[in-house]
Amino acid sequence: GSVVADFEVKDMIGKGGFGQVYVASHVSSEKEKVALKYIIKHRQDRYLNIDGHSRPMLAEVAIMLRLMKAPQCPNIIRLHDWIENESDCTLILEYPESCQTLDRYITDTLDMNENKARRLMRQLVQAVRFCVERGVFHGDIHARNILVTTPRLELKLIDFGCAWPVTRMPFYSWKYQGARCYTPPEILRHPKFFPSMANIWAIGIVLYEIMHGRLPFYDRQSIMVGDLHLNPTLSSACQDLISKCLIRNPVRRILLHQVEEHQWFNATSPNAV
Ligand code: ADP
Ligand code: MG
Ligand code: MG
């Protein structure tokens, strides 16, 4: 029997273009829940031969394996195992207790404040930092690819389906495929633009979304030239950080280490509830 038979599949928790995600529990160890991400193989799937594996592997798996090597990052979802055949691949992923996607968490949280946002953003930046150190570009940072546990507010970055190893990026026919509303102007203009600054833009969009309960830009036109409307009751440090992540010229945009060192992360906001 397949390893999938070891799991009792429960609810469907996600549905994407080429597969579904189910929550399941391991039959023998009872309690431990996992998420099963079922991916139907497709001609456009990318395979990577990296890190000394004996054969090319589905890029999503190859990338996650690189991130799973010790020491691990608590803010990146764990890949326990995977099952693959010619037609499909099932990822067996960590399922954090009492988690929801960040977009749901934002909608459900009526008492959002900068302290909560800071807790989440610190962990998101840590996850991105960890990816950078492992030579991984996530390429699809957005609120549905981020899980938040309550009440502890632990953040886990998920979905490495658009990720690439950084050193290989210029040599492949790379095309950024992240969510449209989180895609920076330079990528909309040149889809094969070297996308290293796209993560910072997406981080800025996520912080904006947490603090406003909606996105700053919903279409290409507003991403390219639209005004950024910031809630004036936000602390000036918070407004400053969002604005600097959302600088349209990628050369002038704030760098990851400058995000990490930004004063907003040290502040205890006066208007925090
Ligand atoms: P896709 O590549 O189709 O976007 P994702 O990996 O983003 O697939 O998964 C789709 C959805 O399934 C996510 O937005 C989230 O709601 C849910 N999901 C995915 N992985 C997990 C996980 N490990 N734990 C809990 N929920 C998950
Ligand atoms: Mg996703
Ligand atoms: Mg994906």
Provide the ipTM. Answer: 0.99
Residue 10's CB is within 10 A of a number of other CB atoms, namely: 12
Using the mean position of ligand 2's atoms as its centre, give its distance from the Cα of residue 142 in Å: 8
Condensed to tens digits (0 to 9), the pLDDT of residues 18-58 reads 789 999 998 877 668 999 999 999 877 889 999 999 999 99
Query: Which ligand neighbours the alpha carbon of 146 most closely?
Result: 1
Average pLDDT, the chain: 92
Cβ of 92 below 6 Å from ligand 1: no
Using the mean position of ligand 3's atoms as its centre, give its distance from the Cα of residue 247 in Å: 26
Nearest CA to ligand 1 atom 4: 16
Mean local confidence (pLDDT), 55-84? 96
Confidence of residue 252 (pLDDT cuts 50, 70, 90): very high
Dist CA 59 CA 255 (whole Å) = 26
pLDDT at res. 171: 55
Whose CA is closest to 37, among 98, 103, 91, 96? 91
Plot region of 213 (φ>0 → left; ψ -120 to 50 → alpha; else → beta): left
* Higher-scoring residue by pLDDT: 155, 3: 155
**Percent of the chain scoring above 70 in pLDDT:** 93
Dist CA 36 CA 26 (whole Å) = 11
Q: By the 8 A CB rule, do 8 and 24 touch?
A: yes
Lowest mean pLDDT among 15-24, 126-135, 236-245: 15-24
pTM above 0.90, yes or no: yes
| 1 pLDDT above the threshold of 50 | no
Residues with CB under 5 A from ligand 3 (ion): 159, 161
Whose CA is closest to 184, among 231, 245, 123, 136? 245
Nearest CA to ligand 1 atom 1: 16
| 2 pLDDT above the threshold of 60 | no
* Higher-scoring residue by pLDDT: 41, 146: 146
Cβ of 37 below 6 Å from ligand 1: yes
Nearest CA to ligand 1 atom 25: 95
Cβ of 264 below 6 Å from ligand 1: no
Dist CA 108 CA 119 (whole Å) = 17
48 bridge partner residues = 57
Mean local confidence (pLDDT), 191-199? 83
Residue 76 per-residue DSSP state: B
pLDDT at res. 169: 62
Confidence of residue 272 (pLDDT cuts 50, 70, 90): very low
Residue 161 per-residue DSSP state: T
Mean local confidence (pLDDT), 135-150? 97
pLDDT at res. 233: 97
Cβ of 13 below 6 Å from ligand 1: yes
pLDDT at res. 273: 40
User: Which of these is catalytic: 11, 140, 219, 240?
Assistant: 140
pLDDT at res. 45: 85
Nearest CA to ligand 1 atom 16: 14
Using the mean position of ligand 3's atoms as its centre, give its distance from the Cα of residue 208 in Å: 22
Dist CA 243 CA 258 (whole Å) = 13
* Residues 6 or more apart in contact with residue 236 via CB below 8 angstroms: none
Dist CA 190 CA 170 (whole Å) = 14
Using the mean position of ligand 3's atoms as its centre, give its distance from the Cα of residue 150 in Å: 24
Q: What is the DSSP string of 24-72?
A: EEESSSTT-EEEEEEEE--TT--EE--TT-SS-EEHHHHHHHHHHSSSP
**Tokens encoding 32:** 């431990």
Q: By the 8 A CB rule, do 31 and 23 touch?
A: no
Dist CA 39 CA 88 (whole Å) = 6
To the query of whether residue 140 is one of the catalytic residues in this protein, the response is yes
